[in-house]
Structure formats: structure tokens, C-alpha cells
A and B are shown apart, each in its own frame.
Chain A
């Protein structure tokens, strides 16, 4: 079991990443809080050492995505929340920011995930392929589709 110092550091270091991943999957504050705690509880009990900070971060991403998927699998049909209710989770954003976020969140789930991990976390397609356990070509395709969808709404050029 990890010490209080370790878990507190992890909450500070990876809290934002976990929160954002939850948001692009869950769209609901209560579920986000649940998954957020679940992920760090798993970390508390995960005794194996990590090879590096990158390794640790990848572990958090994988665990968060799996936890979200588990939750969606059991609650999806009953608990889908309309996009409009999302505002509660994005209070920090300005008007334009909200529009961008709404656009990203309107993408199919697979695309949302790679958009966040690629654009924000900076993972390349081969890295995403390892992280998500998918074929690298599938990742390229998903990314391309996501870009096309985003461009339709947001316009402008992308550099990814």
C-alpha cells in the first residue's frame, strides 16, 4: 500500500489528466467524482514500482479509460446525459472555450479520446497505439476522422 505522501503527490500530479479523461467520457460530475476516486484507490493498492514518470502517467491513463469504460458499459443506456448539461463541468471555460469543448465532446467516443491524448497530452500515433492497445493504422484513421469533424465545426488548419 502506498503512503499518504505518495498518493497526495499523485493526486496533484495526475488529477487534471484523470479529470479530463473522465470528462470526455462521462459528461456527469457525480460519475467523474466516482471514477476519480476509483483511479486513485487503485493507485493506493498498486504496489509495483513504475519504471519512469511516463510509465506512471500511462498507467493512470489506461486505468482511467478502463474505469470509464466499465462504468459506461453498465450505466450507459440509463445514464446518458444530454450535452447541454455539460456546462456544470465546464464552469471554468469562457464562451469560446465552451464551444470548442462542446465540439470535441460531440465527437464519437473513440475520436474524443485520441483527440485529447494526441492534441493535449502530446502522444504520437505509435505511442497511442501502444497505450490503447490498438493498431497504429486504426489510430491514424481515427485521428484523421476526428480532425475532419473538428474542422467542419471549428474551421482553420490543424498542424497535427
Chain B
């Protein structure tokens, strides 16, 4: 009986199909267990790429220096660390029209300035004797210096162009007052001579008009004594303001 039982069980085997199916199932299980690690690695790699992409995008598209271009169209070019224009902002309606008519994004700042100066809107005004002011402001002094020199170089042929350097603090104050930097600097000069002048008063004026106003006020201040000059040039300045704007 023992022998019979041993013999019977000895004849029973796990079929090849059963073994092969099981080996395949083991392989699948092995791969399934491993895959989460693979997913994790892929997810991590994607995240790194995404962050690098976002970082790179920010790095490239964050302006480091601003060029304020004022004649009466007032606009501001944001220039990144590679001296490329990455943002264009208009500060008045004329400026918006000009911005809409030109494609300045991603141009080298010098090429952008050349296109602006050559644009009909600005060229006509320059020809008519208006003043173009280009003001450079940014945290990186080396870049500001480089951009100022570049701006001077590419507008060297123009008589009525003035290039200045400003600073970031002034830029923020200008934006707070609703003016572009170039105009704000002129406004500060004007306000020093006539404290009653407000930012709104100069917003609609051309740079030439503001400069002339400053000129007339300082002339008054020079030609007359401080004591009795106050009332007079205040009056004149108001006359000018309402006459021109």
C-alpha cells in the first residue's frame, strides 16, 4: 500500500504549462514591483526639467534694466541680462500706438532703439524739433553703463536726443506716479522750480514742452530775485501749462 501511494504521487507532476505560466506571472510581478521606482525617476526628471525650464524662462524673460524712451509717445523697454528686449510698455496713448506698430520683442536693445528712432511717429517729431529722452535704469550698474553708452552711440547722429541714467528707486517712484522714468526725471526738475506742478500736469506734455517749461522757470529764477519772483513764475508756469496741454 505504501508503495502504491508513493508510485501514484510520483506520477503526478506540475505540468510544463503550469510552470511556464507561473514563471511568466513572476516576471510580471517583478516588473510591476520595479516600475514605481521607474515612475518616480521619470517624474523626478520631469520635475527637474520643468523647474529648469521655468527657471530658464524666468532668467531670460526677467528685465534687468529698463530703457525709458520719451518724446511724447512714452514707452519703456525692459531689457534682460543678455541685452535683449523682453518687455515693452507704453505710458500713454501715443506710446501704445507706437508699440502696436512696431515689433520690438526679443530684439537687441540697440536695434530696438534704432527702429524706434526711425519710426514715423518719432522721426517726424524729431524733425519738428521735439526732444527725445532716453533714460537707462537698472540694478546692474555695469549693464546700465553699457546700455547708456550703446544708446548714445546709436542716437549719436540725432541732435535732439538726450541720454540719461536713472536708478531703480526713481523708476519705481515714476511708475507710482504713472509716468515713464524719462518724464518723471523731467517732472522732478520742474517740481524743484515750481512745487505746485503735479505729475498729471506733465503727463500729457511732450519732452520739449517740459524742457521749455523748465527753461522758462529757471530763466525767471535767474533774472529775478527770489522774493518777488515767486508769484510771477508761478503765474507764468500755470499759463504755460494750460496753454500747451
Contact = CB atoms under 8 A, between A and B. Distances in A.
Interface in A1-42: 1, 4, 7-8, 11-12, 15-16, 18-20, 23, 32-33, 36-37, 40-41
A8 B7 CA distance: 26
Nearest to A150: B1
Interface stretch (A49-57, A77-85, A112-120, A123-131): A112-120
A104 B1 CA distance: 11
B19 A23 contact: no
A4 B29 CA distance: 11
Interface string A77-100: 000000000000010111011001
A120 B11 CA distance: 11
B47 interface: no
A93 B2 CA distance: 17
Contacts of A155: 1
B6 A19 contact: no
A15 B6 contact: no
B23 interface: yes
Contacts of A33: 18, 21
Contacts of B13: 15-16, 19, 92
A151 interface: yes
Interface string A125-147: 00000000000000000000001
B153 interface: no
B8 interface: yes
A7 B1 contact: no
B13 to A, nearest CB: 5
Nearest to B7: A97
A101 interface: yes
B10 to A, nearest CB: 7
9 shortest interchain CB distances as A-B pairs: A15-B14, A19-B14, A120-B9, A119-B5, A100-B8, A158-B1, A156-B1, A97-B8, A37-B25
16 contacts: A4-B30, A7-B23, A7-B26, A11-B23, A36-B14, A37-B22, A37-B25, A44-B26, A44-B30, A94-B11, A100-B5, A104-B8, A115-B5, A150-B1, A151-B1, A160-B2
Given A7-B26, A151-B1, A155-B1, 17 more contacts: A11-B19, A15-B13, A15-B14, A19-B12, A19-B15, A36-B14, A36-B18, A36-B22, A40-B26, A44-B29, A44-B30, A93-B12, A100-B4, A101-B12, A116-B9, A147-B1, A150-B5
